[in-house]
């Protein structure tokens, strides 16, 4: 469903930035004592503790992404994986017999597989019996469970449609025509058909590296001009 790509775009604008240190290196994992401390603080509403947990678990996102190398653009996988990481930090509870790293890896992989499902790729390289996450009660979910899920509720679809219309109108206000065209093609903002960079390059008759540069410039403009509260909540 193309709303998955809208979430991907918003994650690049609002979430993935700032999660990596200068120079592209990920912070080292926390010690068990530090992890426990920050989990307790985060569950008590400390946003700084939550940010620390996210930053120090980005290595895990990169590790899971390697498994799906070639199935989609790496930066797309990293961005959507960061959504899974944040969801894991928000929902993890100690005392249920699952380590944070194990639970987080499942949440990251779940988000990646939903992205790949939406782009209709990777069907034949993942076992339908692979564990990909947990439901709200902590029960394990397999890919076959995910594929058999019912579509989002009508109200959820309406809400996301409004969100899509708003972001399209806002992007048109500050992006150049070419920038908006590339962002629209990459994230399916107009027709729901999201394309990888190489296909956008072929469609527009320009190089993939040029597409990448324009996309990054457009996302930087979006970071400067969009308010997180208007479009995305963690």
Tell me, what CATH number does 178's domain have?
Answer: 1.10.10.10
Q: Model confidence at 154, in pLDDT bands (50, 70, 90)?
A: very low
- The residue out of 97, 127, 147 marking a domain boundary is 147
pLDDT of residue 151: 41
Concatenated DSSP letters of 22-71: GGGPPPPPPPHHHHHHHHHHHHTT-HHHHHHHHHTTHHHHHHHHHHTBTT
The more confidently predicted of residues 22 and 194 is 194
Say if residue 99 is in the same domain as residue 195.
Answer: no
Structure tokens at 189: 């903002």
pLDDT in tens, 197-220: 999 999 999 999 999 999 999 999
pLDDT of residue 121: 47
pLDDT surpasses 70 at 122:
no
Average pLDDT, the chain: 78
Angstrom distance (rounded) from CA 212 to CA 110: 26
Say if residue 130 is in the same domain as residue 214.
Answer: no
Residue-range definition of the domain harbouring residue 198: 154-231
For 190, the 3-state DSSP assignment is: coil
Q: Report how far apart the first and last C-alpha atoms of the chain are (Å, whole number).
A: 20
The more confidently predicted of residues 144 and 171 is 171
Say if residue 176 is in the same domain as residue 112.
Answer: no
The more confidently predicted of residues 81 and 227 is 81
pLDDT of residue 229: 58
- The residue out of 117, 147, 177 marking a domain boundary is 147
- The residue out of 119, 147, 175 marking a domain boundary is 147
Say if CB 6 and CB 167 are below 8 A apart: yes
Return the closest-CA partner of residue 58 out of 76, 34, 79: 79
Say if residue 70 is in the same domain as residue 132.
Answer: yes
Compute the average pLDDT of residues 7-13. 80
The more confidently predicted of residues 136 and 177 is 177
Q: Model confidence at 155, in pLDDT bands (50, 70, 90)?
A: very low
pLDDT of residue 140: 62
pTM of the predicted model, to two decimals?
0.58
pLDDT surpasses 50 at 112:
yes
Say if residue 10 is in the same domain as residue 51.
Answer: yes
């Amino acid at each position: 469903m193309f709303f998955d790509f809208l979430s991907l775009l918003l994650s690049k604008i609002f979430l993935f930035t700032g999660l990596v240190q200068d120079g592209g290196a990920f912070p080292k994992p926390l010690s068990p004592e530090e992890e426990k401390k920050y989990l307790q603080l985060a569950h008590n509403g400390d946003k700084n503790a939550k940010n620390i947990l996210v930053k120090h678990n980005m290595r895990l996102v990169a590790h899971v992404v390697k498994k799906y190398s070639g199935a989609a653009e790496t930066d797309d996988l990293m961005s959507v994986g960061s959504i899974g990481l944040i969801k894991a930090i928000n929902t993890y509870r100690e005392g249920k017999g699952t380590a944070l790293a194990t639970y987080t890896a499942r949440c990251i992989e779940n988000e990646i597989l939903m992205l790949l499902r939406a782009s209709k790729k990777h069907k034949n390289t993942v076992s339908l019996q692979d564990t990909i996450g947990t439901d709200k009660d902590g029960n394990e979910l397999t890919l076959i469970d995910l594929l058999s899920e019912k579509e989002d509720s009508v109200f959820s679809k309406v809400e996301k449609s409004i969100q899509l219309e708003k972001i399209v109108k806002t992007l048109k206000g500050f992006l150049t025509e070419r920038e908006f065209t590339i962002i629209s093609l990459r994230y399916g903002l107009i027709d729901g058909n999201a394309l990888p960079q190489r296909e956008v390059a072929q469609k527009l008759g320009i190089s993939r590296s040029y597409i990448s540069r324009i996309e990054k410039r457009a996302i930087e403009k979006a970071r400067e001009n969009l308010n997180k509260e208007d479009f995305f909540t963690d």
